[in-house]
Amino acid sequence: MIQKVEIPKYIREIKLSEARIKKYYELGKKHPKSEKFNDKTKYEYKEVPGYGKRKFLVDLKTGERVVANPRAAGTPRVLTINGQKIYNGEVSKHIRNKVLSEIKTSFIPYIEKLNEIKNFPICIEMEIHDVIREPNSKSLWDLDNRAWPYIKAFQDCLTGNKDKQGKKRNKVVLKDDNVLYITQPPVPKFIPVEKEDDRKLVFIIKEETDQRILSNTEYIKELNNLKI
């Protein structure tokens, strides 16, 4: 039996906060590149009440600190999903968990449509239909880095991933995701599309047919114990 899951316009960004806070130029840290801030008749590093001996770059005309992120301040903080940032520790554990949780939430309506898998082990294929270059940076992207968070989220959803209280968040399609149930996790393949809005993920679930696995004596024994 083959089951297929299509997830159109799959989630690519996570909102981390509604509005980013203002940052200011502090003495001993990053200095603004613009030459105008070197004019000491207009700008100077000074102590600011409430910050002890710390000195900030101040606009002498207004008496206000110079904002280091004027364009970003007040706007939502958004993270583009990237597996490499997660596994190399570039983002915190909190953000990693939030990313995976948001992906799983977006997957649940599609997982709910699947039939319970009673014939296992299974192997899973994955297609990533997307544009060739990143929409914002126009850079080429790596398939493995893109795919990893979605692979993890999909497998967790199959087993009815748990919330913080330990309760299943969605329908249980597969009892577990160990090697007796899944012999091949989602293997990604890139399929190019013309427009970003045409992006989608396709997961194809198949029964395992590799006799090197299915004829193994120990494996058969373990499977039979599960199905008793």
Instruction: Examine the pLDDT at 87 and tell me if it is beyond 70.
Output: no
Region 96-116: mean pLDDT is 92
Q: What is the pLDDT of residue 184?
A: 96
* 81-105 average pLDDT score: 81
- Given a cut of 90, is residue 196 above it in pLDDT? yes
- Predicted local confidence at residue 91, as pLDDT: 73
Sign of CA dihedral 191, 207, 124, 210: negative
Q: What is the pLDDT of residue 165?
A: 66
Residue 38: per-residue pLDDT? 92
User: Rounded to whole angstroms, how far apart are CA atoms 31 and 66?
Assistant: 11
Domain boundaries, the chain: 3-16+82-227, 19-75
**Interacting residues of 81 by C-beta distance below 8 A, sequence separation 6+:** 11, 12, 13, 14, 99, 103, 146, 149
Question: pLDDT tens digits for 38-57?
Answer: 999 999 999 999 999 999 99
State the Rg of the chain over Cα: 25
**Rounded-to-integer distance, Cα 220 and Cα 215, Å:** 7
Reduced to 3 states (helix: H, G, I; strand: E, B; else coil), residue 196 is helix
Comparing 68-72, 161-165, 176-180, 212-216, the range with the smallest average pLDDT is 161-165
Instruction: Give the predicted TM-score (pTM) of the model.
Output: 0.76
Residues whose CB falls within 8 Å of the CB of residue 126, separated by 6 or more in sequence, listed in order: 147, 150, 151, 154, 186, 187, 188, 189, 201, 202, 203, 204
Q: Distances from the Cα of 137 to the Cαs of 56, 66, 80, in angstroms?
A: 33, 28, 11
Q: Per-residue pLDDT tens for 118-164? A: 999 999 999 999 999 988 888 899 999 999 999 999 999 999 977 66
- CA 134 to mean position of chain CA atoms: 15
* Backbone angles phi and psi of 141, in degrees to 5: -125, 160
CA dihedral 209, 212, 216, 221 (to 10 degrees): -30
Rounded to an integer, the average pLDDT of 24-46 is 91
The string of pLDDT tens digits covering residues 163-193 is 666 677 788 999 999 999 999 999 999 999 9
Q: How far is it between the farthest Cα atoms of the chain?
A: 84
Mean pLDDT of the chain: 90
Judged against a pLDDT cut of 70, whether residue 228 lies above it is answered with no
106 touches 7 (CB < 8 A): yes
Residue 12's nearest CA partner among 119, 131, 190, 109 is 131
